[in-house]
Structure 1
């Protein structure tokens, strides 16, 4: 029971450092809840980034099996992110108003972790990197990811390597822009989905990517409903339009041909 010379649970996890980051700036009871949910979310986002980057490195090398495990872990972590909103929903509008004005222009919109996840998944918008320009340690990696292929771009390169017709303008597109649906890419996925036995690894990868986007949409929807029930349609923190901004975000499609293929089969 003596851990004076051995590594304890708290030492290993540095729980003192972790818990010391919880620094409410008001006396409002629910501010601690608000900070906790966002801290936990940032940790899950960090794990998602690590798993996505590892999976993408393998996909770039032509490996398809191990990334499926990593993407499954991403999906499970996304579920935890989504469930976090359920805890935050126990905070009423009156509870939130006790401390909302204290954190000024700080907003989840400025989360570098969330932005990196979006960029890796293919939601590209250079303007959204501007809140991080004052932090080169955050802005640099985001900018590099913005100019590199997304997980979907790498998947399309795999299709091309397997002899499926993916046009050069798709493979060599401007990666700083969001993906747009291309008929040739849809035809390639139709080939995969019509013969899953021949293209089983690509078929399974496509379904796993859809799991990721499906969960990403659920997270966004839960975010929207949490905001609506807490502040209604007031202006959001950080100067965003709040619920209006989040509602528009629901229309973003990351892997367009993977959704369209269902209609075309």
Structure 2
């Protein structure tokens, strides 16, 4: 394809020697002259990114709402990649690599939870001025968020149904339905390490939601009883719990933002609103890691 001024040819990667030479030639200040858009804008797709906000009313808070939603979607993508990486590393018995991915995910989750600050002060008046233009649009329809829910065991073929007409999203969700989730991979690892994880938790119908099992709780209790310095399985358990706690924080911030802006009115997506969100926020992620704490005793 011929290069035009509107589509400048991308430069090949810049070597360290060239960067040093350019800095010396310019005596310090950054390069400011480019053909067409800047390399920064081309690399990160900035022009396309900033052309994605299309408010439908004159309410200033609508732009904030759109941007907050888009930020969350990008973070869903990033977290999903880290959780998939952690799951795959667990399946390959590389616990240290899995925990590194979980820790990177924790940082992204913290930003995700904080992103609710953009909407925390949305008043009923502000939201009311643009709520009707949302139509039936609702966060429950987010394929990125649904992917995360599938990865942590909250599987539901019904919840993938809205994405049947979107090939990319459908493929991602169908794969996540069929494959073991993050917690499933952890339990399979424990089984391979000789912990008493029931066989029906090692191989099962992965499309079904995860249900708590007292034998799994017992297996995690054995893990926690290992006080060997540097033991990796107790560290893995805590890393998973850190992930789970952040999911609950996000769900609760969602609940509070809706309660503040909308009260108990039904959601735009057809749900009961607060009732639906409250039930979701109350559901423990990786449940046996929480329940074992109630009656924990050293074996």
Q: TM-score range by the shorter chain?
A: over 0.9
Rg (Cα) greater in structure: 2
5 Å matches for 1:51-200?
51-197=82-228, 200=231
Question: Matched residue pairs, number?
Answer: 265
Between stretches 215-224 and 71-80, larger displacement belongs to 71-80
More helix by share: 1
Structure 2 residue 283 is the aligned partner of structure 1 residue 252: yes
Between stretches 3-12 and 138-147, larger displacement belongs to 3-12
Unaligned runs of 5+ in 1: none
Q: In the TM superposition, what is the alpha-carbon distance from 1:156 to its structure 2 partner? A: 0.7
Q: What's the RMSD between the two structures over aligned residues?
A: 1.5
Cα gap change, 1:197 to 1:229, in 2 (>3 Å): same
Q: In the TM superposition, what is the alpha-carbon distance from 1:8 to its structure 2 partner? A: 2.5
Unaligned runs of 5+ in 2: 1-31
Give CA deviations for 1:16-50 in whole Å, capped at 9, x if unaligned. Answer: 00010111122221110000100011111110011
- Is this contact kept in 2: 1:65–1:201, CA < 8 A? yes
Relative to the length of structure 1, the TM-score reads 0.95
Partner of 2:271: 240
- Is this contact kept in 1: 2:96–2:232, CA < 8 A? yes
5 Å matches for 1:44-55?
44-55=75-86
Structure 2 residue 49 is the aligned partner of structure 1 residue 14: no
Between stretches 84-93 and 211-220, larger displacement belongs to 84-93
1-structure distance, mates of 2:215, 2:131: 49
Between stretches 6-15 and 143-152, larger displacement belongs to 6-15
Give CA deviations for 1:70-113 in whole Å, capped at 9, x if unaligned. Answer: 11111111111111112212221101111110121110010000
2-structure distance, mates of 1:262, 1:195: 15
> Structure 1: which 4+ aligned runs deviate by more than 6 Å?
none
- Is this contact kept in 1: 2:188–2:201, CA < 8 A? no
- Is this contact kept in 1: 2:247–2:285, CA < 8 A? no
2-structure distance, mates of 1:228, 1:4: 50
Relative to the length of structure 2, the TM-score reads 0.85
Q: Which has the higher contact order (CA 8 A, sep 6+)?
A: 1
- The equivalent position to 1:220 in structure 2, one of 235, 245, 251, is 251
2-structure distance, mates of 1:197, 1:145: 35
Give CA deviations for 1:147-173 in whole Å, capped at 9, x if unaligned. Answer: 111111100111111111222111112
